[in-house]
A and B are shown apart, each in its own frame.
Chain A
Amino acid sequence: MEIIIDGKKAAVQEGETILQAARRNGIDIPTLCYSDALPGITSCRICMVEVKENGVTKRVASCAYPVHEGMEVTTDNETIRRTRNVLLNLYSARVPHNKDIKALKEKYDVPEIKRLQVNKGETHLAENCVLCGLCVKACEEMGTNAISTVFRGAEKKVGTPFDEPSDSCIGCGACASVCPTEAIQMTQENGVRTIWDKTFELIQCKECGKYFATAQEIAYVKQKIGNDMDMALCEKCKQKGNAAKFKEALKAELDI
């Protein structure tokens, strides 16, 4: 199947989205809330493109819109730039000090829109979250469902139930890892990991003493792969132990 992206013919596969097709063909479309692992959130709207099909021109979110035979896609024109500029100015008003939003603004030459400016000195000093919901989806995918968006309107935020440490959080940090604006803080110090106000005493490797995982992570792994293997060792010591077995076997074989 073929479509036209930015005036050039591009070979695409049935069922994929415009974004996937464009990226595979080396055409850059910016995104915040998109991840191949967690598609279909479509909240950030940064990936808007213009689509012309059946004589109709419309703007769509390229991360969710499937390709159709013969469609014409424009990823960069006056309308798209205007949309992107407004969006990034709005994000910037919410998280004025976030470096990822700043970098996007710089990359796409986004001018400051006067009516969307905030007093950067006073408001939202520590805010880095753009409420895209990628972290929530990641937690859902893990099957833990520890976080969700809470409240509506200006109060909306991502949090655990009643802002209390969640029972279901296993401390894996997938939410922090997928966050496009580094808004989720996970700290680890002296054998204690903290995330979403929950502290986890990390398990120490029986051999080398390295803190390597939370008890909840180990329980999750055991439950998911359904075996009862010994998980008291960090990955390095597990490997060392295996090698040592080979060594003993060789020693016996070579009689040394």
Chain B
Amino acid sequence: MAKILMIHPDKCASCRNCELACSFAHEGVFNPNKSRVHALVWERLGLGVPLMCMHCDDAPCAGVCPTGALHRDEEANGVLWDKNKCIGCKLCVSACPFGNASYDNETKQVIKCDLCGGDPQCVRICPNQAIEYKEANEGVMAKKAMYAEKFKKVFEEVE
């Protein structure tokens, strides 16, 4: 069964090890700027929010991509980027409503979560399971929907 990434901001300990694991796995360096996941931290409140590509079903980045370099991959159950098909227009970066894609001018690549080919390193390193990679079965989806509903309510209150 297809797996999905789930984040639990309430469990994040703000250690930001996920950023280091991610940049090391992809670029061979420990550089949070080159990480596909970002943990945004509020130290005084003791809160951290890990964010990465949501792998949208109807992804705007894939919608705007002129060559299909960004595409939905059913097998991986995610939105993947094909380096060979990218022509570097960088419009995916503008199209993502969540700011979860960026472009590295140095290496000419789109920096965006690729699920590490099915073994996300951020999930491996996270000491608190604040990021999980789980089978998208009924229970998990129900839990996800519950979270989404809860956050949606508060989001509306905030706005």
Contact = CB atoms under 8 A, between A and B. Distances in A.
Interface residues of B, number: 42
B152 to A, nearest CB: 9
Interface stretch (B88-96, B118-126, B136-144): B88-96
B47 A233 contact: no
Nearest to A140: B66
B84 A235 contact: no
Interface string A240-256: 11111111111111101
A116 interface: no
B9 A239 contact: no
Interface string A31-75: 000011110000000000000000000000000000000000000
B67 A141 contact: yes
B158 A243 contact: no
Contacts of A238: 96-99
Nearest to B69: A37
A37 B67 contact: yes
Given A221-B64, A247-B42, A249-B154, A239 B100 contact: yes
Nearest to A137: B87
Contacts of B9: 246-247, 250
A42 B79 CA distance: 31
B97 A246 contact: no
B97 A173 contact: no
A180 B42 CA distance: 45
Please report whether the interface of chain B is mostly helix, strand, loop or mixed according to DSSP. mixed
A178 B151 CA distance: 42
A249 B64 contact: no
A213 B89 contact: no
A35 B99 contact: no
Interface in B49-86: 49, 51, 60, 63-64, 66-67, 69, 82, 84-86
A252 B88 CA distance: 41
B32 to A, nearest CB: 12
B116 interface: no
Given A37-B86, A177-B89, A177-B108, A239 B98 contact: yes
Contacts of B88: 173-174, 176-178
26 contacts: A35-B84, A37-B86, A37-B87, A138-B89, A141-B67, A142-B89, A143-B66, A174-B66, A174-B87, A174-B88, A178-B88, A213-B94, A217-B91, A224-B95, A229-B97, A235-B96, A235-B99, A235-B100, A235-B101, A239-B38, A240-B40, A243-B38, A245-B154, A249-B158, A250-B47, A254-B10
Interface of B: 9-10, 38, 40, 42, 45, 47, 49, 51, 60, 63-64, 66-67, 69, 82, 84-91, 93-102, 108, 150-151, 154-155, 157-159
Closest 6 CB pairs of A and B: A177-B88, A238-B99, A239-B99, A249-B154, A243-B40, A36-B84
Given A248-B154, A249-B151, 14 more contacts: A36-B85, A37-B84, A37-B85, A173-B89, A174-B87, A177-B87, A224-B63, A235-B93, A235-B96, A241-B99, A242-B99, A245-B154, A246-B49, A252-B157
